Amino acid sequence: MKTTVEIPDHSLKTLLKLTQAKTKREAIVTAVDDFNRRHAVDAVVNRFGKLAIASNDEIEASDLADVKK
């Protein structure tokens, strides 16, 4: 989709540096894709909650308990 927008020079320069894009278009597309991906992930987390992930110590303790059985 072709769109014309005014983006402040300092914002665009910072975006070009952060994304290491070769063109303004590439930098903007990268930023938009990243924004969309982050919001999609947030929506999934908010819908299903956070996962309880065992720490390395808990995994090792479980493994040792299994070996002793």
Q: Quick check: 15 and 31 in contact, CB under 8 A?
A: yes
Residue 13 lies in a domain: yes
Q: Is the dihedral of CA 45, 28, 12, 21 positive or negative?
A: positive
Domain count for the chain: 1
Average pLDDT over residues 53-67: 86
State yes or no: pLDDT of 68 exceeds 90: no
Q: What is the pLDDT of residue 39?
A: 95
pTM for the predicted model, two decimal places: 0.64
Residue range(s) defining the domain that contains residue 35: 9-68
Residue 1 lies in a domain: no
Average pLDDT over residues 41-58: 84
Name the residue with higher pLDDT: 58 or 13: 13
Residue 3 lies in a domain: no
- HEC string for 34-69: HHHHHHHHHHHHHHHCCCCCCCHHHHHHHHHHHHHC
